A and B are shown apart, each in its own frame.
Chain A
Amino acid sequence: MSNNTGTAAHHVHRDDVGAKMGMWLFLFTEVLLFGGMFLIYAVYRYQYPDQFHIAAMELNTTMGTLNTIILLTSSLTVALSIAALQKGNKFLSLCFLSITLLFALMFMVIKYFEWTTKISHGIYPGSPELLTKPNGQILFFGLYYIMTGLHGLHVLVGMVVISFMIVFIARDKVTSDNYVKLENSGLYWHLVDLIWIFLFPLFYLIQ
């Protein structure tokens, strides 16, 4: 390493396109993971349309809408933080990432209240009250818990990833001319948002 000439030292061995390609490939495995669940949802909704409608009435549309707005806005702040870093504004980039983290936390808090309300009403997988309901409703709530649960897990992972990015930017590991890590984290966060865009109408907006 030390025998590099001045110009050679300037050339950093790095492949941003390759890094992003790897990220996109990972995102497609995520799409297929959730895709399988959406497939199960589609088949059972086709089989029990009325039961799904009755069960979905139990969900709180206001909380769902609020979470949609929060997640969409957090997607915006991630995009803005990348734009800020591209312009060389490290402070603004850190601000936007911190706001994203705050939105993610708000999302999880609302999710927590939503789930605990459901659970206190006796609706959770395998609960005696749920098991007295018809099959279609049991399936709806099973899918509701597993799909929003897995999505919530992705939000938590995203929060960890964004926290790392905040540290990286603060320590100049991610800078205005080396920000592919931040871009990839952004891609992950947008995917989490994308999945929610479909979860929201399928669970909360069946009237």
Chain B
Amino acid sequence: MSENNKHHISYGTYILVWAALIAFTSITVTIAGVSLGRYTLFIALSIAAIKSALVINIFMHIKFDEPIFKVFLGISGATLFIIFLLTFFDYIYR
């Protein structure tokens, strides 16, 4: 609420997170070239999830913001997950 208790992130932290994001990108590109069979998609999506966690927490400030935004994020994530789950239940057991 008050302006004073806002958490300001330093340039260094942002640059560190960016470096991590670039590192994860090179890992995912390298791994895509290696044949890992059915794990390829799982690994690619896990790396994407780690990258989004970094962007959401640090770049989008969720980690330091009001708790209500975390609740919002949880609800929208859960909604998306349920939609995916129900669709695949319907599709696979059709």
Residues of A within 8 A of B (CB): 16-17, 20-21, 24-25, 28, 31-32, 35, 39, 42-43, 46, 61, 65, 68-69, 72-73, 75-76, 78-80, 83, 86-87, 177, 183, 186-187, 190-191, 193-194, 197-198, 200-202, 205-207
Establish whether residues A39 and B8, one from each chain, have CB atoms under 8 Å apart when the complex forms.
no
Establish whether residues A201 and B76, one from each chain, have CB atoms under 8 Å apart when the complex forms.
no
Establish whether residues B25 and A72, one from each chain, have CB atoms under 8 Å apart when the complex forms.
yes
Residue numbers in B under 8 Å from A79 (CB-CB): 9, 14, 58-59
A24, A39, A65, A191 interface centre (most CB from chain B within 10 Å): A24
User: Which secondary structure dominates where chain A touches chain B?
Assistant: helix
A21-B72, A191-B60 known, 4 other contacts, Cβ within 8 Å: A17-B1, A83-B9, A201-B44, A207-B35
Establish whether residues A31 and B69, one from each chain, have CB atoms under 8 Å apart when the complex forms.
no
Q: Which residue of B lies closest to A75 (CB)?
A: B59
Residue numbers in A under 8 Å from B17 (CB-CB): 76
Q: Of A24, A69, A205, which contacts B22 at CB under 8 A?
A: A69
Q: Which residue of A lies closest to B21 (CB)?
A: A72
B8, B29, B44 interface centre (most CB from chain A within 10 Å): B29
Establish whether residues B28 and A39, one from each chain, have CB atoms under 8 Å apart when the complex forms.
no
Whether B93 is near chain A, meaning CB under 8 Å from some CB there, is no
Establish whether residues A194 and B56, one from each chain, have CB atoms under 8 Å apart when the complex forms.
yes
Q: Which residue of B lies closest to A84 (CB)?
A: B11
Interface 1/0s, chain B 63-94, versus A by CB < 8 A? 00110110011011001100110011001000
When chains A and B are docked, how far (Å) is the Cα of A123 from the Cα of B34?
A: 27
Residue numbers in B under 8 Å from A197 (CB-CB): 48, 51-52, 55
Establish whether residues B33 and A207, one from each chain, have CB atoms under 8 Å apart when the complex forms.
yes
Establish whether residues B44 and A205, one from each chain, have CB atoms under 8 Å apart when the complex forms.
yes
Residues of B within 8 A of A (CB): 1, 3, 8-11, 14-15, 17-18, 21-22, 25, 28-29, 32-33, 35, 40-41, 44-45, 47-48, 51-52, 55-56, 58-61, 65-66, 68-69, 72-73, 75-76, 79-80, 83-84, 87-88, 91
Establish whether residues A177 and B25, one from each chain, have CB atoms under 8 Å apart when the complex forms.
no
Establish whether residues B35 and A21, one from each chain, have CB atoms under 8 Å apart when the complex forms.
no
A46, A61, A187 interface centre (most CB from chain B within 10 Å): A187
Establish whether residues B68 and A205, one from each chain, have CB atoms under 8 Å apart when the complex forms.
no
Q: Of B48, B58, B73, B83, which contacts A39 at CB under 8 A?
A: B83
Establish whether residues A35 and B80, one from each chain, have CB atoms under 8 Å apart when the complex forms.
yes
Establish whether residues B80 and A73, one from each chain, have CB atoms under 8 Å apart when the complex forms.
no
When chains A and B are docked, how far (Å) is the Cα of A187 from the Cα of B21?
A: 17
Q: Which residue of B lies closest to A31 (CB)?
A: B76
Establish whether residues B83 and A194, one from each chain, have CB atoms under 8 Å apart when the complex forms.
no
3 closest Cβ pairs, A-B complex: A205-B32, A201-B44, A76-B18
